[in-house]
């Protein structure tokens, strides 16, 4: 447990927040994270924001995820190539995140 999705607060009216991510927009309550503000990324579970996410760290993860998800328009459509996909993958992720591992 449990499914929670990071989304950005784009509007706020009391505890009623409008949140958005990549082509999706909805509302949630920020009653559990009353200090959250417009522009913050929050983790949303069952219609409630449960945590404010550290943006710098989040960005790094999302870059990795979105790069995985992105499909390259310029691709000739041949899957099964041994070469890695190109789509922006050569960008080095931000430094200074948790984990203490050396894989960078």
Partner 1 sequence: MTAADDLACLAAELREEAGPGLTFMEVCGTHTMAIARYGLRQLLPEGVRLVSGPGCPVCVTAMADLDRVLALARLPEVTLVTFGDLIRVPASRGTLAEERAAGADVRVVYSPSDAVRIAAAEPKRQVVFAGIGFETTAPTTAAALLEARAAGLTNFSMLSLHKTMPLPLRALLDLGETPVSGFLLPGHVSVITGTACYEFLAREYGIAGVVAGFEARDVLEALLMLVRQSEPEIAIQYTRAVRPEGNVVAQRLLEQVFEPSDADWRGLGVISGSGLALRAEFADADAARRFAVDPGPTLEPPGCRCGEVLRGVTDPADCALFGARCTPEDPVGACMVSSEGACAARYRYRGLDDA
Partner 2 sequence: MPEHRVTDRILLGHGSGGKLYRDLVKDIFVTAFANPVLERLDDAAALAPTGRIAFTTDAHVVQPLKFPGGDIGRLSVAGTVNDLATAAARPLALAAAFVIEEGFAVAELRAVCASMAATAREADVPIVTGDTKVVERGAADGLFITTTGVGEIVVAHDLGSAAVRDGDAVILSGGVGDHAVAILAARGEFDFRADVRSDCAPLWGLVEAAVEAARTQGGEEAVRFLRDPTRGGLTTVLAELTEESGLGIEVEEQAIPVSPAVRSVCDLLGYDPLTLANEGKMVLVTAAETADAVVAAVRATTYGRDARRIGFVTAAHPGRVALRTPFGTRRVLDMPIGELLPRIC
Site residues, partner 2 (CB under 8 A): 1-3, 5, 21-27, 44-46, 66, 68-69, 71, 73, 75-80, 85
User: Site mask, partner 1, residues 61-80, x = CB under 8 A?
Assistant: x--xx-xx------------
Nearest distance, CB of residue 74 and partner 1, angstroms: 17
Dump strand ranges (E) for 3-93.
5-13, 16-21, 24-29, 41-45, 48-53
Q: Does 9 bind partner 1 (CB under 8 A)?
A: no
**93: which residues sit within 8 A by CB, 6+ positions away?**
60, 63, 64, 104
Does the protein bind partner 1 through residue 18 (CB under 8 A)?
A: no
Question: How much is the CA Rg of the chain, to the nearest whole Å?
Answer: 17
Cβ-based nearer residue to partner 1, 5 or 38: 5
């Amino acid at each position: 447990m449990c499914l929670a999705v990071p989304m950005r607060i784009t509007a706020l009216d009391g505890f009623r927040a409008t949140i958005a991510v990549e082509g999706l927009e909805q509302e949630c309550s920020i009653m559990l994270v009353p200090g959250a503000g417009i522009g913050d990324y929050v983790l949303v579970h069952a219609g409630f924001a449960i945590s404010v996410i550290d943006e710098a760290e989040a960005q790094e993860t999302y870059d990795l995820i979105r790069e995985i998800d992105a499909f390259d328009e310029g691709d000739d459509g041949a899957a099964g190539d041994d070469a890695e996909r190109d789509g922006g993958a050569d960008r080095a992720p931000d430094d200074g995140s948790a984990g203490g591992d050396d894989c960078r």
